[in-house]
Amino acid sequence: MDYLNHFEQLVKKQLERVEAMKQQEDFVDYSKLDKIVIGTVGGDGIGPAITAQAERILAYLLADDIKAGKVELRTIEDLTIEKRAEVGQAIPDSVLVELKKCDVILKGPTTTPRKGDPWPNIESANVAMRKELDLFANVRPVNVPEKGLDWTFFRENTEGAYVLGSEGVNITEDLAFDFKVITSQGAERIIRAAFEFAKKNDKKRVTCVTKANVIKTTDGKFLDVFKKVAEEYPGIEADDWYIDIMTAKLVDEKRRKDFQVMVLPNLYGDILTDEAAEFQGGVGTAGSANLGKRYAMFEAIHGSAPRMVDEGRDIYADPSSIIRAGAMLLNHIGYTKEADKLFKALDICGQTEKKIQLTGRDTGATSAEYADYIMETIEKL
């Protein structure tokens, strides 16, 4: 391999991406759309089973506006590992065309092949979707009222340590290189999104998490941009922590309640949000938003659990994560009352009341029964 030429081509592509970001328009105003199209994508493994339940709940909450033609729920097929393997693409072209016809997307989990799997080594559908739709902000809320925790994480999606994850090189059998990318534009838009969220939701503190004392150039740039943007929001406290100590502070009962909004490059966000989700009951209960200026995608953050399908247990899979993602979707497109009801119902059904239990087996409720429980709870609110 011509290593210098390889690096030159990577730099060229990233410079082109910078120029594209400079030309971007502002976020979509959903209130000005004649109709909001919500695409639902089941994915694979347990994805279709749990996404169907989230879709039922969205249809229930949006029934009047669906009937009036203000909202459309549109099912998108073929984002399965079988189809992706058949065409050799992370997202089949036909699926991508349909995704781009939607305004927002609710997506079930998709399988990413690992070494030893029977599938070809194709890119993660999540990573590909974030790139294709420029979904730069991964937003994950963690709310546990009884522990006093109300966190919202803004994880950068399109650069950092992951953007060139498949472009690393083995110089020799003893020496390997990977690449990390941070741009001023990429950092600014995710950081500004975090501060705007804090401003609109009456949050008083935004925390930047890096390792800028060691990763001085890229993490240093992210932190410098954070400090510059923070000056535009004088009513919000801005501070920064290093990722290693931040993982400790999330389990520090004396300090963790103080944090509200956190903004992080991709890798650190991946680590910290999975840790944070454990306080809420694990990644199976957490939803995730992936926001861009034109498109937005909401998803469960757990895997596709193919073993549950193989064992005939997919109907018992916990739909909480994808339903919570649906609540985030509702909030994003302006249906805040419906979103609040769904969030409250999820907390009642999963943490407070717990009238029926999900065990992942026939010893507990099916995902459909749990969705019914949630809708019955919403009726009482």
pLDDT at 23: 86
pLDDT at 113: 83
Is the CB of residue 60 less than 8 Å from the CB of residue 375?
yes
Residue 322 has pLDDT above 80, yes or no: yes
As a whole number of angstroms, the distance between CA 41 and CA 27 comes to: 23
pLDDT at 277: 85
Q: Residue 154: pLDDT band by 50, 70, 90 thresholds?
A: very high
pLDDT at 283: 65
More confident residue, 235 or 167: 235
pTM exceeds 0.85, yes or no:
no
| DSSP per-residue string spanning 229-297 | HHTT-TTSEEEEEEHHHHHHHTT-TTTGGG--EEEE-HHHHHHHHHHHHGGGT-GGG-EEEEE-SS-EE
Is the CB of residue 218 less than 8 Å from the CB of residue 14?
no
As a whole number of angstroms, the distance between CA 207 and CA 273 comes to: 14
Residue 166 has pLDDT above 80, yes or no: no
As a whole number of angstroms, the distance between CA 123 and CA 84 comes to: 10
More confident residue, 166 or 313: 313
- Percent of the chain past pLDDT 90, that is, above it, reads 75
Q: What is the mean pLDDT of the chain?
A: 92
At 371 the three-state DSSP class reads: helix
Token readout for 42 is 């089941």
- Percent of the chain past pLDDT 70, that is, above it, reads 99
pLDDT at 120: 84
Q: Which CATH number fits domain 22-135+292-381: 3.40.50.2300, 3.40.718.10, 3.40.50.300, 1.10.150.120?
A: 3.40.718.10
Mind listing the pLDDT tens digit for each residue in 253-312?
A: 999 999 999 999 999 999 999 899 888 776 666 678 999 989 999 998 788 999 999 999
Residue that the structure tokens 């739909």 belong to: 319
pLDDT at 65: 98
Query: Averaged over 115-140, what is the pLDDT?
Result: 86
Give Cα 19 to chain centroid, integer Å: 25
DSSP code at position 172: E
How would you classify the pairing of strands 237-242 and 261-264?
unpaired
As a whole number of angstroms, the distance between CA 29 and CA 27 comes to: 6
pLDDT at 285: 64
Domain ranges of the chain: 22-135+292-381
pLDDT at 144: 85
Is the CB of residue 139 less than 8 Å from the CB of residue 289?
yes
Token readout for 188 is 């600014």
Mind listing the pLDDT tens digit for each residue in 187-230?
A: 999 999 999 989 988 999 999 999 999 999 999 999 999 999 99
pLDDT at 355: 93
Query: Averaged over 237-241, what is the pLDDT?
Result: 98
As a whole number of angstroms, the distance between CA 57 and CA 320 comes to: 12
Token readout for 237 is 């406290």
